[in-house]
Each structure stands twice: as C-alpha cells, then as structure tokens.
Chains A and B, each alone.
Chain A
Amino acid sequence: MSADIVLRTEGLTKEFKGFVAVKNVSLAVRRGTIHALIGPNGAGKTTCFNLLTKFLTPTAGRITYSGQDITYASPADIARMGLVRSFQISAVFPHLTSLENVRVALQRKMGNSFHFWKSERQLQSLDGKAGELLEAVGLGQYRAIPAVELPYGRKRALEIATTLALEPDMMLLDEPMAGMGHEDIERTQALIRRVAKDRTVLMVEHNMKVVANLSDTITVLARGEVLAEGSYAEVSRNPAVVQAYMGSTGHAHG
C-alpha cells in the first residue's frame, strides 16, 4: 500500500513566533487520486499548502515525495521533480500572450534558458506544443491575447495549461475556484477531472460542491490539526467536522 503514496508528511509543524499554524499534520496522498484539503477559516490550509510547495520551511516534521525527502528542497527544485503548484490569485504572466505564457513553461526543458546571445526565434519550435496545450483547455482562439486581457476563468485555464506544460506527476491547486462564477466553475471542474486522469491532484478548496464532486479523499483541518479524513460521505457525517464548521461558516456543507 505504501508504494502507492506519492506525497507524505509526518508530524508536519509550522510555528510563527509562538503561534502554531500547523501542528503535527500527517498526510498521505495516494497516487492517481484527487485529494482535497478543507477546513474553516484559519485552519492552516494555506500554511500547510505553502509548506508542501516549499514556499515555507517547516519548523518540524518531514515531507517525502515519491520516496525522496523534500523537507528542505527549494520550490524550483520540487517543480523540476514534477510537483507543480498553482496560486490562489491567478498566476499568469500578465503582459505575455497566452502562447508565450505556456511557452515559458515549455522552454525550461529546452536547456537554452541562459542563452542570452541567441535569438528568441529558437523558441518558435515550441509553438506547436504550446498551441496544443491551449487547445486542450479551450483557449485556442486566445493564443495571441496578452494574459492580462483574458476574463478571470480563462486566466485559470491558462494557468492550468502552463502547469500541464511541465508534465507534472502531481499538481497542487490552491483554491482553483476562488472568485469564479457558475459557468467558470463548471468548466474548470471538468478540466481538473480531465487532467487528473493520469496524475495526482491535491487541492485546497472552499466550494464544498466542488470538493464533493471531485475528491476521492478529503482531509479536514481545524486549528492546524487534522480533524478527520475520508470520503465526502464519511467526513460530512463526522460530528467533529460538523461542529467545527457550524462554529464558523455555518452552511459550508451546502
């Protein structure tokens, strides 16, 4: 069974000047599943997410990814290992076109990213692949548009296309539906389901409908600790979870 675990944390703890944001969290994400991290406001989801993506360094505990210890790896290093994150605020390169956004991700593997004496024409060989990725997320007709001009939902799609360009084994999505309208949520949900077919996804998400629809496993955090874990049916019946949510957001189960 343990060979199936792609990302594992043991006793993960993060303290900020006496305040413990994440306390002794042990997670095990199975390969090929969609795993959701939920919890009321201030539960430590974002801190936990930033620990996993190496944008924060844990105070104690261990993180392993595909059997390798990544507790002290740099964020760029884990991206090179196939563990790629998204951001809560849509992370695109605003003044680059959609095509250029995706191409920047493809470019790294070409090995010419330090070649300041070469012409950028070299990058045109990536245009085909970048175009395919844009088509795959429904952005085919936006390839020449600067990212800043795309509507919000499309930016998210562009971000996912850029992430997919790295061919990650595992994607970490930070609130992929934040700030989206109904239509965008439907589309993005279908997109996540599609890209999760041959990879592992861990996401932090507030929208319970989305969590219920997409997730195989849900871990509930409260006050920095794991409160419950299981399928949506299991955790939503858990009295501790219900109480934690009633205390803050009321109808979050929606």
Chain B
Amino acid sequence: MIAQAPAIAAIGTPRHHYAAFAVMVALAALAQGAFGIYPVFLAKVLCFALFACAFNLLIGFVGLLSFGHAAFWGSAAYASAHAAAKWGLPPELCILFAAFVAAALGAVIGGFAIRRQGIYFAMITLAFAQMIFFIALQAKFTGGEDGLQIPTNYRRIAFGFLNLRDNATLFWFVLGIFLIGFLVIYRVIHSPFGQVLKAIRENQPRAISLGYHVDRYKLVAFVLSAALAGLAGGTKVFVTGSAALTDVNWPMSGEVVLMALLGGMGTIFGPVAGAVVLITIEEFLAERAGAWVSVIQGGIFVLCVLAFRRGIVGELARLLKKPL
C-alpha cells in the first residue's frame, strides 16, 4: 500500500512546500471570508483534517495501519467535554487535557499493538477501540446513548479573550490549532526521528540490523499520533457542542482511513484534501441521500483502491513530479 510513496525529498523544506502551505491557509481563510461558507462547517472540516494528518503519520510514515483511531479522537472528545461541563475549565485547557488523555491511552494501546505487524496490529487497535466504545456506552460519566453536551451556560472564552460563541472567531481558533498540529507533524516527519521512521517503513529488518530498537520508535510515533488525534477530537467538541458515541465507534476509525487513502497516504497535504472532500460529501448528502451516504463512501473507497491508489494529492504530486 505504501510501496508507491514518492521519492523522499532532499533535506530542508523545499520551496514548493511553502507554496502549498500558503495555498492551503489562503483557501481556508478565503472559504470563510470571501466565499462565505458556514464557518462552523469549516471548523469541523479542519478538525477532521488534523485527525487525518495524525493518522497519516502512522500509516504514511511508519507503515502502521491503525484501525482504532476513533479511540483517541473519541476519548479526547469525551475528556474535553467532561472538563468543560463538569470542571468548567476554559476551552484551551479542555483541549490540552484531551490531548493528554489521548496520549496516555495511546501509550497503553500502542504498547500492546506495536509488538505485532500488519493485520494483527490493525486488529489489536480495533479491539482496544471497541473496548473504549463499550466503556463510553456503559459508563455513567460518558452519558451513554446521550453523549456529553457542553452546557448552555458554559463560558466559551478561549485564552480569556476569544469568544467562541462567535462563529468567525471559532473558525480562526480552530484554524490556529489545526496549523499548530499540522506543523508539529511536518516537523516530526522532517526530524532525525522521522528519518528513522522512514527507514523502518522502508525495511524494518534492516533497521533492526543497524541497531535500532524499532519498537521504541514505533511507540513514540504511535503516542504522537494519538496525542494529535486527541488534539483534533478535543477541539471538535467546541465546534459541534458535544461528544457522542459516533465519535468513539468503529466507523469513525474507518472514516479516517478513507480520508488518508482518498487524499494520498504518505503525502503531507493529502489527508487534508481527503478530509475536505469526504466531510463535504457527507454534509451535502446527509439530507438528500440519507443512508446512501455510506454506499457512496464505499464506492469512493473502491474507486480509490482500484483506479488511483496514490490519492488526490499523490496523483497531483506525480503530475508535478514533486513530493507534496
């Protein structure tokens, strides 16, 4: 699946990455300002985009297919909503707390899962994620079927001055968090650590024979991915106003796989494109097609795997002959 990753660029940030980054930020800002798209919808897309980028860090740059990333996104959403509703913490602390919860969960689940490879790795992550789902369904503090709502009297002021009740402010706040997460991932990929991750992805037995304890590298990458997925999930609560069972259920794990696949696994900007396309389709078709949304998503999945396995950005990168 990852054998077709484009050749890795030389050291340093290539100029076209700056350009692509500028285009991405400009498009987000224009969508909100000039095109007048509903800011709350855009903020939701950005949360999913960060989620997909965090997932892609594992599949695209370590070669690990996690099928349980809903556990991190979902538990972070619950943690964030809990911190807001029960403790009355300000949004930025709720989100930080959520990321920590997801990271801790990532250390536990990752600690077990990275001992296995391929389908076994995927199944272990799925099994753990289903346990988390079961807890969310049964436990008292998660609100069961109802989920956790952020109460109407909660003071939605971030950093003491950003009023998140205002939709435009909410958008800029979420864009800021997305960009922080995105740049963290970019740095991880382009760090000495990232270089070892790529070596593990390319040829694990060889990396071992060079003296690398690959399990430790995988675990660190797993925890980073979980923390960033948690950052996204914790932020999402302030966009939709609640944490719900769908956030922690397995179709969410599948959706993030689809986003990365559609956008281009192992590319830097691909997961963002994948999230934009998929969430837009869902939002647009939810009222018009109802249950057919799943069928359409399934069709997209089949099309990706059969026709363009590099994904949107992967194909674009091939045309431009530059890794994106």
State the A residues within 8 Å of B (CB): 53, 55, 74-77, 79-80, 84-87, 91-97, 100, 103-105, 107-108, 110, 112-124, 144, 146, 162, 166
Q: How far is the CA of A144 from the CA of B8 in the complex (A)?
A: 11
Query: Please, which residues of chain B bring their CB within 8 A of the CB of A108?
Result: 210-212
Q: Could you tell me the distance in whole angstroms from the C-beta of B54 to the nearest C-beta in chain A?
A: 14
What distance in Å separates the Cβ of B235 from its nearest Cβ neighbour in chain A?
21
Interface bits B184-213 vs A (CB < 8 Å: 1, else 0): 000110111111101100110111111111
Q: Is B319 located at the chain interface by the 8 A CB criterion?
A: no
B279 at the interface (CB under 8 A from A): no
Contacts of A115 in B (CB 8 A): 191-193
5 residue pairs, one from A and one from B, having the closest CB atoms: A79-B211, A116-B193, A93-B202, A91-B206, A112-B192
A146 / chain B contacts, CB cutoff of 8 Å: 7-8
Q: List B contacts of A166 (CB < 8 A).
A: 210-211
Given A93-B199, A100-B195, A104-B196, A114–B209 Cβ distance below 8 Å? no
A87: B residues at CB distance < 8 A: 205-206, 209
Residue of B194, B207, B210 ringed by the most chain A CB atoms within 10 A: B210
CA distance A104 to B211 in the complex (A): 11
Q: A84-B209, A146-B8 are in contact. List 13 more A-B contacts (CB 8 A).
A: A75-B209, A76-B212, A79-B208, A84-B210, A87-B209, A93-B202, A97-B7, A103-B195, A115-B191, A116-B224, A117-B188, A120-B190, A166-B210
List 5 interface pairs A-B (beta carbons < 8 Å), by A numbering.
Answer: A74-B213, A95-B7, A100-B8, A113-B212, A166-B210
Complex CA gap A115/B197 in Å reads 12
| Separation of A16 and B129 alpha carbons in the complex (Å) | 36
Give complex CA distance A103, B195 in Å: 9
In the docked arrangement, what's the CA distance between A85 and B205, Å? 10
Contact at B188–A116, with CB atoms within 8 Å? Answer: yes
Is A95's CB under 8 angstroms from B210's CB?
A: no
**Closest chain A residue to B12 by CB distance?**
A121
Say which residue of B10, B188, B192, B203 sits within 8 Å of A110 (CB atoms). Answer: B192
Q: Is the CB of A122 within 8 A of B211?
A: no
Chain B hits for A75, CB < 8 A = 208-209
Looking at A100, A104, A124, the one whose CB has the most chain B CB atoms below 10 A away is A104
Give the complex CA separation of A23 and B217 in angstroms. Answer: 36
Interface members, chain B 215-231 (any A CB < 8 Å): 216-217, 220, 224
In the complex, how many residues of chain B place their beta carbon closer than 8 angstroms to a beta carbon of chain A?
Answer: 34
A107 to B211, Cβ gap below 8 A? no
Q: Closest B-chain residue to A55, C-beta based? A: B205
Partner of B11, one of A84, A114, A118, A120: A120
- Chain A residues contacting B217 (CB-CB under 8 Å) are 113-114
A141 to B210, CA, bound (A): 24
Q: B214 at interface (Cβ–Cβ under 8 A)?
A: yes
* SS class, residues of chain B in contact with chain A: helix
Contact A120 B192 (CB under 8 A): yes
Measured CA separation A138–B199 after assembly (Å): 23
Closest B residue to A149 by beta carbon equals B7
Task: Give the chain B neighbours of A144 by CB distance below 8 A.
Answer: 10
Chain B residue contacts of A94, Cβ below 8 A: 202-203
Contacts of B122 in A (CB 8 A): none
Give A123's nearest chain B residue, CB to CB.
B192
* Bound CA span A116–B187, Å: 7
Chain A residue, CB-CB nearest to B220:
A114
User: Given the known A-B contacts A80-B211, A114-B217, A166-B211, are A93 and B206 also in contact in the complex, defined by CB atoms under 8 Å?
Assistant: yes
B317 interface residue, CB < 8 Å from A?
no
Cβ of B5 within 8 Å of any chain A Cβ, yes or no, is yes
Closest Cβ neighbor of B190 among chain A residues: A120
- Give B4-19 interface residues, CB cut-off 8 Å to A: 5-8, 10-12
Asked if residues A116 and B220 are in contact (CB atoms below 8 Å), the reply is yes
Instruction: Contact check, B206 vs A120: say whether CB atoms are below 8 A apart.
Output: no
Max count, chain A CB within 10 A of own CB: residue among B192, B195, B206: B192
- Selected from A77, A120, A162, the residue in CB contact (under 8 A) with B210 is A162
Do A95 and B5 have beta carbons less than 8 Å apart?
yes
CB distance from A38 to the nearest CB of B (A): 22
Q: Are B193 and A113 in contact (CB under 8 A)?
A: yes
- Nearest residue in B to A114 (C-beta to C-beta)? B193
Cross-chain contact A92 with B192 (CB below 8 angstroms): no
- The interface residues of chain A lying within 8 Å CB-to-CB of B216 are 114
When distances are taken between beta carbons in the complex, the residues of chain A under 8 Å from B10 are: 97, 144
State whether A120 touches B191 (Cβ < 8 A): yes
B206 pairs with A118, CB closer than 8 A? no
Minimum CB–CB distance for A155 against chain B, Å: 12
Residue of B nearest to A165 (CB): B210
Given the complex, which residues of A lie within 8 Å of B196, measured CB to CB?
A: 104, 107, 113
Closest to B214 in A: A76
Q: Which residues of A contact B210 (CB under 8 A)?
A: 79, 84, 104-105, 108, 162, 166
> Could you tell me if A53 and B211 are in contact, using CB atoms closer than 8 angstroms?
no
